[in-house]
C-alpha cells in the first residue's frame, strides 16, 4: 500500500507532503520521511513523532499533554463523576517542531526556523 502511494507521489511531483494523524502513517513515519527527503519534499505533520522520524516539521498538540488530561478524566470517573458531567476540552497548547537535519538537507532558509517552539537535531 505504501509503495503505491510513494510511486504516485513521485509521479505527480508535488511541492510538499502533509501526513495525517492515524496509526498507519504514524507506524510508517520513518519510511515516509525517507521517501519525502529522497524526493526533496518538505513534510508537515500533526505530531512531533513524525519529526523525530525525520520529517521536516509538525504543528499540533502535544500527545503527552493530552495523555495527562485523559488521566485526569479517568481519575474523576473512577472517583464517581459521571462522564456526561465532565466538560469537553479543546487543546490549548500547540507546538511547531522542526527537524534541523531535514531542513538543512532540503536547503531551506534559516528564517523558517525562527518561529519554531523546538528544534530537533
User: How far is it, in rounded angstroms, from Cα 24 to Cα 2?
Assistant: 10
Q: Sorting pLDDT into bands at 50, 70 and 90, what band is 1?
A: low
Q: What angle do CA 47, 35, 98 make, to 5 degrees?
A: 35
Domains of the chain are: 2-120 (3.40.50)
- The confidence band for 107, taking pLDDT boundaries of 50, 70 and 90, is very high
pTM of the entire predicted model:
0.80
Whether residue 105 is predicted with pLDDT greater than 80 in this model: the reply is yes
pLDDT of residue 71: 94
Q: Which residue has the cell 473512577?
A: 78
Amino acid at each position: 500500500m505504501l509503495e503505491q502511494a510513494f510511486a504516485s507521489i513521485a509521479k505527480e511531483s508535488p511541492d510538499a507532503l502533509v501526513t495525517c494523524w492515524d496509526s498507519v502513517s504514524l507506524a510508517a513515519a520513518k519510511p515516509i520521511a525517507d521517501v519525502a527527503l529522497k524526493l526533496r519534499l518538505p513534510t508537515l505533520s500533526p505530531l512531533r513523532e513524525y519529526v523525530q522520524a525525520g520529517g521536516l516539521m509538525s504543528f499540533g498538540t502535544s500527545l503527552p499533554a493530552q495523555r495527562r488530561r485523559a488521566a485526569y478524566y479517568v481519575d474523576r470517573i473512577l472517583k464517581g463523576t459521571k462522564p456526561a458531567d465532565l466538560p469537553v476540552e479543546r487543546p490549548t497548547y500547540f507546538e511547531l517542531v522542526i527537524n534541523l537535519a531535514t531542513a538543512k538537507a532540503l536547503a531551506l532558509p534559516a528564517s523558517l526556523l525562527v518561529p519554531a517552539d523546538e528544534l530537533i537535531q
